[in-house]
Structure 1
Amino acid sequence: MTPEPRSQPQRLERKQAAPLSETAFTLLVQGVLDYGIFMLDPQGYIISWNAGAERIKGYKSTDILGQHFSVFYPPEDQTAGKPQWELETAVAEGRLEDEGWRVRQDGSRFWANVVITALWDEKGVLQGFGKVTRDMSERRAAQQALSERRRLFDHLVQAQETERRRIAWDVHDDSIQAMVAVGMRLELMAERVPEAHAAELRRLDTTVREAIARLRSLTFRLHPPGIDRHGLVEGLSSHLDDVVRSSWGMACSFEHQLEREPTAETAITIFRVVQEALLNVNKHARASRVDVRITSADGGLLTRVIDDGTGEPRSEDGTREHFGVIEMRERAETAGGWWSMYSRPGTGTTVEFWVPNPLPVPAPAPTDEAS
């Protein structure tokens, strides 16, 4: 159905209301405080100014109208001809969007998001430009703070892993080798002394061998092979095969759906939390099975370690904050994520945590030092 034609009074009423709408729109633009909205003539001189522009840039309309908009650009951008280039780009492409430093009336700089739109009349003649500016200094500062926190976190993880590797090597090359030598001497002595004393020496030799096995297990936990060279999935798969299945005799599964391989520091963080969770399962849960699942979620990686044990026992004061739990939580939270553990007696325990998975930070380009 076609709409019924409007009556003459209705058309007159609509025509009379139009100026009010234009006035309301002008009031809206003039009153906006979060955005600097103003117009330039075809040569780039400022011909309108709103309250948001005054708040952001510091100029009153009486001070800025008629000036060229290049006054907002730092000296280095003015020298490079950036203001004129932006106008030419807006004319050629219809609009231009840019982020960069701009200058307030008092000379201070702020980080701005700028959109310049070329304005044409119905005959295709350029009438000027609309310019919208937003102060993004707080957002940029927050992004820089997040990047700095990430950089410090990466350094912390690298330092921890370097120290773990050094301790593992020291234990392997010093303590284990010394105890192996002691065990060999005990074996030789047991062959040369009377049987009454040989039995005691063999018991000592067994104790030494058990201690060596524990130290070797410690060096493996300190620096398991594979995580540095092969990444998270292969490192965890090897750990589950070598430790959970082979050493502990426990059934396990590993499911993973990763959009991309995490950074080395994120992979190490996830590996260490899972490693501690599995150790707790072996020590406390009396479980026959454990399942590890990792999926990409919300810009990060969500990991679950689920066992079928008796449920995590609570201490007398109702807490579960033993050292392993504290270490897991602190690792996840230091990485910018979260960690939780929940269980019921007889139904097993689930350790769940999420850590962000940022894109690798490119190495800074070398700068030429002034001679």
Structure 2
Amino acid sequence: MGRTGGGKVTEQLLGQLDEPHDLLALAHDAVIVRSAAGEITFWNRGAEETYGWSASEAIGAMTHDLLQTPPAAVAAVDASLRSHGAWEGELHHVCKDGSEVVVASRQVLREGSEGQHQAVLEINRDVTEARRAQDRLKQSEERFRLIVERVEDYAIFMLDVEGNVVSWNAGAQRMKGYTSDEICGQHFSRFYPPQDVQAGKPGEELRIAAAVGRVEDEGWRVRKDGSRFWATVVITALRDADGALRGFGKVTRDITERRQIEARLEYQARLLDYVNDAIVAADENLVLTAWNSGAERLYGWSADEVIGRSTVDVLRTELSDADREEALRVLNEGGEWRGEVIQRHKDGHRLYVEAATIILPHGPTRLVSVNRDVGDRRRSLVIEERGRIARDLHDSVSQALFSMTLQARALQLALERECHDPGGPVGEGITNIRQLTQGALAEMRALIFELRPGALAEEGLVAALRKHAAALEAKEGVAVTLSATSEELSLEPVVEENLYRLAQEALSNVVKHSGASSVQIRLDLSGGSVQDIELEIVDDGIGFDTGASHPGHLGLKTMSERAQGLGGTLDVRSAPGHGTTVRAFLPGRNRPPVHRGSTS
């Protein structure tokens, strides 16, 4: 629609209104007409909504008195109206409810035909919220400016689109050494090491920031004096409302000290990983927070598997309630506790651990424990103690039994020389004594063999089986025979150990369950360079049904596991009334037999 058409519509609209005032009454702005003396003669609906007074209340009142216009503002308005016939600006008024309102006011003086002042037309728009928002924005900007200017821990400054410095705060001056006058207008690439400048890193960072909005970096930066510091940097692209790039904001933080601390901590952490001891840490709720490689080796768990889990679930420390309370008391009173505990490996087997635990007074980690596997030491102590007991038994009890055997035999010979009946009461008593001492001596030799460290490795499997058989025969009265490929054959230590234990278990079953009167043990090696090993134990006992259930008391599972652990098989054949045969077969052991030299 053109101007002509628009004018016709306006003329038609005005023609439909009873008075021109009707159009002003529809305006949302406050429209006020006052006389030359200041008395209100017109008050539209917009004025009612803005100030709260109805037209009937406002008409006839003095404008500046009703609205409590500040005197200085009244004087300025009157002066402008007299000299220019118009005034425009902001006024502070008071509403009917006592609240203050800020209005953008435009006032025009209407003069009579002879130039006398007739009336003033005043149009006021409520801009209170807009002014408050502007004030808040100004205050916020001022606070932000003060913060940026005064903060010293961060270098905060602006760059133009080319990368030249256009603002500079106190933190930037302290960190980089330049004053605002020295650096403003200079390109920010001077903060980068020469190799980074040559590689185009400064410009590349600006390109990335402009493309994606921001870029973060960490690396060396250069001060005015040429010294370097390690910094984290964030560059943010700044755009106006239309999206046009206006420059960049750059925030830099010196983290040299933190990096040095991190480097030291990393170095110490690597050292801890080389330590054989297990180092574990937990918070106040006993949740694991640290787990070094020593702990991984000792317990079998990786750090990823246990961090965040409870020490109770992972370590499964075995302590009585009394010992636990005592450990907590010592730890709480002195900040440190040392002692030996039993814990569990990932696979469930027991670990004998020497632990040294301390309390940390601050931080998320509250408990640190350095744990050492003392299982080998305990085993060494046990072996040493067993050796001592074996020596004591050999030097005392065994020698005494041997002497008693000799003395009993001497008494038998003396009776024979004096022609006494060896079957008489005295002779029979001496014979019983000799048999008892011989049996006890056989058992004692077997016990000493079991106790003495390295006995099996020193004497061999065949000798060990003969001693065990002799002890069994003497104690239980079961006739035991042993046949072997060689009296002095030698196998791998692990093979000899497991075959010996397997034979012990089988012979124990013979004594406990079979009621046998005789047992045959056979140990054969066959083949050439690849040796098959066969151990067989046959008894003439009552036998049993191999198809029936026999809960673990027969030890068959343990014997089978020993054979399988050596790559072999275990075969058990039996039937009620037909005895039992236990056969362990180890095929293809790739080793030639090793024969021990003769020992007296």
**What TM-score, normalized by structure 2, do the two folds share?**
0.31
More strand by share: 2
Higher relative contact order (CA 8 A, sep 6+): 1
**What TM-score, normalized by structure 1, do the two folds share?**
0.49
Name which one, 1 or 2, has greater alpha-carbon Rg. 2
More helix by share: 1
